[in-house]
C-alpha cells in the first residue's frame, strides 16, 4: 500500500515535468527540421505559467468542472498503470477522460468547438478499438509466456513475463504506435486540435478554452503522453532488467518517429483518417489476434 502511494505521488509530480520536457523537445526538433532555431525546451512550462496568470473566463459554470474531471481521469489512468493495475481499466479511464473533454467543449455551443467536437469523436472511434485490442493482446500473450501465472490484464503480471510481449504482439505494436499519431494530435491526424499554427478551425475543440482552463488541458495532455509512451515500453519490458533500457530506447525512437511524421505529412480529411486507421487495425491487429488465438489453441491441443 505504501509502495503504491509513493508511485502514485511520483507519477503525479514527475509526469507533467517529463511531459512538458517532451513537448519542449518536440518543438525544438520540429523547428530544426524546418531550419528554425525554435523556442527553448522549457517554453511549454512558461506558456502554462502564463496561462494560469491570466484571468479565468468561462462560458458556463460546468466547463471548469468538466475539464477538472478530464484531468482527474487522465491522472487516475496513469496512476493505475504505474502501480500495476488492470490495463483494460486504464484504457477505459482514458476513454472516460476523453468524454469529459468532449462535454467541456460542447457545453460552449459555438461553431468552432462544434466542429472540433465532432472531429474529436471521430478520432475516438479510430483510436479506442486499437486500445481495447491492445489490452486483449496483452491478456492473451500473458497466458502464452512462461510466467507461472494465468492470463492477466494486470500490468504488474505482464512485466514479469520471461519474454517481451512484442514477440507475440508485433501487429498490435504497429497498430498502437500508429494510433499514437492521433492521440498526440499530430499530422496527418490533427483534425480536432493541434499544438501548431496550421489548424484551420482556430484551435478546434479547445477554441473556447482560455487562461487556466486551457492550461488544464495542456497539463492533462502531458500526463496522457507519458502514460501512452509507458504502454509502448510495456511491449518490451520483461523480467530481465536490461529490457527496461531497451524499452527506453524504443520509446525514444517511437517519439522521434511521431515528430518526424508530424513534420513530413499534411493533414488528411476525417473520412480518409477513418479508412486508414481501421485498415491498420484490421490488417495488423486483426491478423495478429487471429494468429495469437490459433497458436494458443494449438498449444492447448498438444498439452
pLDDT tens-digit readout, 80-96: 999 999 999 999 999 99
Q: What is the DSSP letter of 108?
A: T
Domain range spanning residue 282?
A: 2-302
14: part of which helix (H) or strand (E)? helix 2-33
Q: What is the dihedral of CA 196, 74, 254, 81, to 10 degrees?
A: 170
Cβ distance 102 to 205 under 8 Å? yes
Q: Which of 164, 206, 47, 88 lies closest to 96, judged by CA?
A: 88
CA neighbor of 173 nearest in space, from 242, 120, 235: 235
- CA distances for 73 relative to 19, 69, 95, 129, 265, angstroms: 17, 6, 9, 19, 31
Fill in the DSSP letter of residue 116: H
Query: pLDDT (tens digit, 0 to 9) for every residue of the chain, 303 residues total?
Result: 788 899 999 999 999 999 999 999 999 999 999 888 888 999 999 999 998 898 777 667 788 899 999 999 999 999 999 999 999 999 999 999 999 999 988 887 777 777 888 888 889 999 999 999 999 999 988 877 655 557 888 998 889 888 899 999 999 999 999 999 999 988 888 887 776 655 444 567 887 788 888 899 999 999 999 999 999 999 999 989 999 999 999 999 999 999 999 888 888 888 899 899 999 999 999 899 888 877 655 445 434
Q: Tell me the C-alpha distance between 28 and 22, whole Å.
A: 10
How far is residue 275 CA from its own chain's centroid?
A: 20
- Going by C-alpha positions, the residue among 210, 209, 206, 176 that lies closest to residue 191 is 206
Which residue is it, cell 490495463? 87
pTM over 0.75? The answer is yes
Which grid cell is 62?
A: 460546468
The answer to whether residues 212 and 51 touch, using CB atoms and an 8 Å cutoff, is yes
Looking at the structure of the chain, the number of domains it has is 1
Amino acid at each position: 500500500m505504501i509502495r503504491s502511494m509513493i508511485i502514485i505521488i511520483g507519477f503525479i509530480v514527475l509526469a507533467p515535468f517529463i511531459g512538458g520536457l517532451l513537448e519542449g523537445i518536440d518543438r525544438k526538433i520540429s523547428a530544426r527540421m524546418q531550419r528554425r532555431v525554435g523556442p527553448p525546451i522549457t517554453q511549454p512550462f512558461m506558456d502554462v505559467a502564463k496561462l494560469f496568470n491570466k484571468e479565468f473566463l468561462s462560458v458556463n459554470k460546468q466547463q471548469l468542472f468538466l475539464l477538472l474531471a478530464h484531468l482527474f481521469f487522465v491522472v487516475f489512468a496513469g496512476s493505475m498503470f504505474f502501480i500495476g493495475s488492470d490495463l483494460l481499466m486504464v484504457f477505459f479511464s482514458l476513454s472516460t477522460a476523453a468524454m469529459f473533454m468532449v462535454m467541456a467543449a460542447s457545453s460552449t455551443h459555438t461553431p468552432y468547438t462544434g466542429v472540433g467536437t465532432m472531429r474529436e469523436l471521430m478520432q475516438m472511434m479510430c483510436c479506442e478499438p486499437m486500445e481495447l485490442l491492445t489490452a486483449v493482446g496483452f491478456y492473451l500473450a500473458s497466458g502464452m509466456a512462461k510466467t507461472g501465472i494465468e492470463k492477466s490484464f494486470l500490468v504488474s503480471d505482464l512485466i514479469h513475463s520471461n519474454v517481451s510481449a512484442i514477440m507475440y504482439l508485433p501487429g498490435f505494436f504497429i497498430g498502437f504506435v500508429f494510433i499514437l499519431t492521433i492521440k498526440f494530435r499530430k499530422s496527418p491526424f490533427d483534425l480536432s486540435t493541434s499544438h501548431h499554427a496550421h489548424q484551420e478551425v482556430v484551435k478546434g475543440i479547445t477554441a473556447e478554452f482560455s487562461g487556466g482552463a486551457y492550461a488544464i488541458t495542456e497539463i492533462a495532455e502531458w500526463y496522457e503522453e507519458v502514460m501512452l509512451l509507458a504502454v509502448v515500453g510495456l511491449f518490451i519490458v520483461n523480467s530481465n532488467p536490461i529490457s527496461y533500457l531497451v524499452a527506453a530506447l524504443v520509446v525514444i525512437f517511437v517519439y522521434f518517429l511521431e515528430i518526424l511524421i508530424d513534420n513530413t505529412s499534411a493533414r488528411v480529411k476525417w473520412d480518409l483518417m477513418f479508412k486508414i486507421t481501421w485498415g491498420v487495425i484490421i490488417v495488423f491487429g486483426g491478423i495478429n489476434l487471429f494468429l495469437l488465438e490459433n497458436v494458443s489453441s494449438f498449444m492447448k491441443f498438444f498439452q
